[in-house]
Amino acid sequence: MNEPVKFPVFPTLTLTLEHSLAIARRHWGLVAVYVLWAIAILAVLVFALPKIEMGRPVDPAQIVTFFALFFLLWPLYGASLVILAIVTHNEILCGAGDLDSATLGRGGSRVFGYILDIVTLVFAYFLLVILLLGLVVNLVPIVVGGARPDLPVAFGVLGGWLVIVLLLTRMSLRLPGRAIGQALPWAEVWRLGRGNTWRLIGGSILLSLALWVALGILGAPAQIAMTHEVLQGAMNAQGVMKMDGGLPPHIVQGQALLGLLQEPTTVSLLAGMWVGLEIAVSGPASVIVYCAFLSVVYATLLQSRPQASPPPPMDGIDPTF
């Protein structure tokens, strides 16, 4: 068996970030639509937030309405991000990605195929987790003995979960091919990722950390301002917070936060809008970065296959655009 080709992690991450910035600039209009859509969803949910007052029961109809909107709007938004994912894959692998049939497939066939693959991976994840829990909970006590083998069960679940994540991360290499209309069979995807599973996980973690730091810096002023407003509201509500006497500090802070949600001050309103912007940006940013990473890895590994057909052009997009 030939030695598996391993993609270089840090050059791949560098190229991923370059492509991601270029795609965000080229498709700024599409990104703006997603950001505005997420902001609109957040505004609807804030408006539908149940009215909570200390000492009074919450109207059940308001709770039902809020969660109905939550579980309707966010999944629709998440499914729509598939379009941005396909555009990202096509920009890197084919040199162009527009909102037309050449990118999305005839009648949006690539969109539905992409969603089907994601659903397959998610279903496989939950199925494997359920099987893992059943096996570990039932087999570990038999193997180690004892009435409460909690620690071995915990390690068994954690180790099994890590294996599941590794396997499905490797299988996610099918997504770039699906996005350009050249989906590889699952068995071929498995062979394509041979020797690169840990590199895929490591690269994904590093990219997630980079995004987390960037978004944390973006949202830091708002979080500091909101914390100050909550503490100030708590001080105004109870004078000076004391550990003994009156309500506990965390209850007072909770009351202050609820008060800001019901009757926001100017500072808390601006801070909340800033946090909402941070949340709205995180969705499309994460999709572009992770899909760009998968595309670069996919192209690198596909080019290394000895029997491979001519690989898709990864140099189709100019990162300096």
How many CB atoms sit inside 10 A of residue 107's CB? 9
Structural domains of the chain, count: 1
Q: What is the pLDDT of residue 259?
A: 53
Please indicate, yes or no, if residue 321 is contained in any of the structural domains.
no
Q: What is the pLDDT of residue 243?
A: 44
Q: What is the pLDDT of residue 33?
A: 97
Residue-wise pLDDT for 13-57, tens only, equals 999 999 999 999 999 999 999 999 999 999 999 888 877 665 567
**pLDDT block averages, 10 residues each, the chain of length 321:** 82 96 95 96 88 69 91 95 96 90 91 96 92 79 62 77 90 95 93 93 94 82 63 52 48 52 61 79 95 96 68 44 31
Please indicate, yes or no, if residue 1 is contained in any of the structural domains.
no
Give the domain extent around 128.
9-316
CA neighbours closer than 13 Å in the CB half-sphere of residue 69: 16
Please indicate, yes or no, if residue 102 is contained in any of the structural domains.
yes
Please indicate, yes or no, if residue 262 is contained in any of the structural domains.
yes
- Three-state secondary structure of 187-238: HHHHHHCCCCHHHHHHHHHHHHHHHHHHHHHHHHHHHHHHHHHHHHHHHHHH
Q: What is the pLDDT of residue 310?
A: 47
Please indicate, yes or no, if residue 203 is contained in any of the structural domains.
yes
Please indicate, yes or no, if residue 4 is contained in any of the structural domains.
no
Q: What is the pLDDT of residue 54?
A: 56
Q: What is the pLDDT of residue 318?
A: 41
